[in-house]
Structure 1
């Protein structure tokens, strides 16, 4: 049976940030036109949000993917990119590019699918941003011996708890997207640990 995951640290002696940089470039490429339109043409801004964001029922077949990289506001972009650069290089250096992309994209798409839950709750939304994917990386790390990167700082725990709670919705934060991304990361991290430590 072929192993899905590469053993932790196998062949990963050097510090790596190439995949984090790729993620940053794609996020910037999809976000820049949206933020430019927000300042210059509100109609175009709303159109781009619909075309690139995640909605339920789906508006486009690609929205659940592009929503992982497109950020609808400057605040979303800045905070997500800061978090990306804090977590991304460490994650890909420790676990490799394959696992980075599996965790980031699967968690991000799961986060995008939270639009269906909001729809069922009677509050349809359009989602965009990398926070769900980043929560996937957090969830994964918490399942590994590297969890100290997250839990060593009590402030991290408080921020995570708030962003995963319904309280965040009061501030316009789609906490269900964070929660689905986080749970997905936990599942992948658990599977990784079981496979590499039978």
Structure 2
């Protein structure tokens, strides 16, 4: 069982946001929780307990100053943000998957990436799960059909995926993408035997992960621009209501989108509790 040490016991009206940010900059993993009419700041060992108390004492005596920003931090434009190798690899594979249907008119290469096997002679999908071909659980996320499809998914992969990779590392993002892709592709396949593809289910999974994390770990919240989640959730409802067909945008893999969002929320909840342990 993990043991925690109470470093500070303070009134609820004392704002610890800036002090908490300072602690994270110092590499001090901690957790702030309200209990009764007090707020308790806990750390993982006695050494950190003394470190926190010393920093707080210096802050109160005026020896230490925390610079306050005059205005809320604005998110940098998407193209100005640096992304790690995992986002770059996923993006390049998605671009390749968008070019493949245009370059491979016979669909021989495309048939290797679909969830359901494609019979090239009849042009029909075979209603059989990819037993013995486990890559098919994941590869549909790289297939994209049209410029708008890859542009939409690519931008959100750069924004949301890059946000997660910068904060939590490439392996965390990769594991999240693989789990959400497999879950959303299988959910879509259970609804209908059809040719589907795209990173949208993963994108909604990344959104769900960030929303759950920000809700449960506000001290370490991802810098998600206000209104982004609202717009994306409204678009999900528009697609599920069938308005995309009326707009001439064709069929949308709504099950993949919704199941990706749910899977991301569940993974965000799990990660927020697993990472409560001191680093």
TM-score with structure 2 length normalisation?
0.56
In the alignment, is residue 125 of structure 1 matched against residue 194 of structure 2?
yes
Whose helix fraction is larger, Structure 1's or Structure 2's?
A: 1
In the alignment, is residue 138 of structure 1 matched against residue 207 of structure 2?
yes
Larger of the two Rg values belongs to structure = 2
Per-residue deviation at 1:118? 1.8
1:65–1:168: structure 2 CA closer, same or farther, 3 Å change rule?
A: farther
| Long gaps (5+) in structure 2 | 2-23, 28-81, 117-126, 215-220
The residue correspondences of 1:3-82 to structure 2 (distance < 5 A) are 16-37=83-104, 41=105, 44-45=106-107, 47-55=108-116, 56-58=127-129, 61=133, 62-82=135-155
CA distance in 2, matches of 1:97, 1:67: 21
1:4 alignment partner in structure 2? none
- Mapped contact 1:52–1:66 kept (Cα < 8 A): yes
In the alignment, is residue 113 of structure 1 matched against residue 186 of structure 2?
yes
1:114–1:166: structure 2 CA closer, same or farther, 3 Å change rule?
A: farther
Shifted more, 66-75 versus 136-145: the winner is 66-75
Whose strand fraction is larger, Structure 1's or Structure 2's?
A: 2
Q: Tell me how many residue pairs correspond in the alignment.
A: 179
1:168–1:137: structure 2 CA closer, same or farther, 3 Å change rule?
A: farther
Shifted more, 169-178 versus 58-67: the winner is 58-67
Q: Residue 224 of structure 2: which of 143, 149, 165 is its match?
A: 149
- Report the RMSD for the aligned CA atoms in angstroms: 3.0
CA distance in 1, matches of 2:25, 2:175: 16
SS of residue matched to 1:126: coil
CA distance in 1, matches of 2:26, 2:195: 40
Per-residue deviation at 1:36? 2.4
| Long gaps (5+) in structure 1 | 2-7
In the alignment, is residue 159 of structure 1 matched against residue 220 of structure 2?
no
Per-residue deviation at 1:160? 3.7
**What whole-Å deviation, never above 9, does each CA across 1:74-129 have from its counterpart, x for those lacking one?**
3322211121112121111122212111111111111111233223xxxx212111
**What whole-Å deviation, never above 9, does each CA across 1:7-46 have from its counterpart, x for those lacking one?**
x9998xxx54221111111222333222223xxx3xx13x
Q: Residue 258 of structure 2: which of 179, 185, 197 is its match?
A: 179
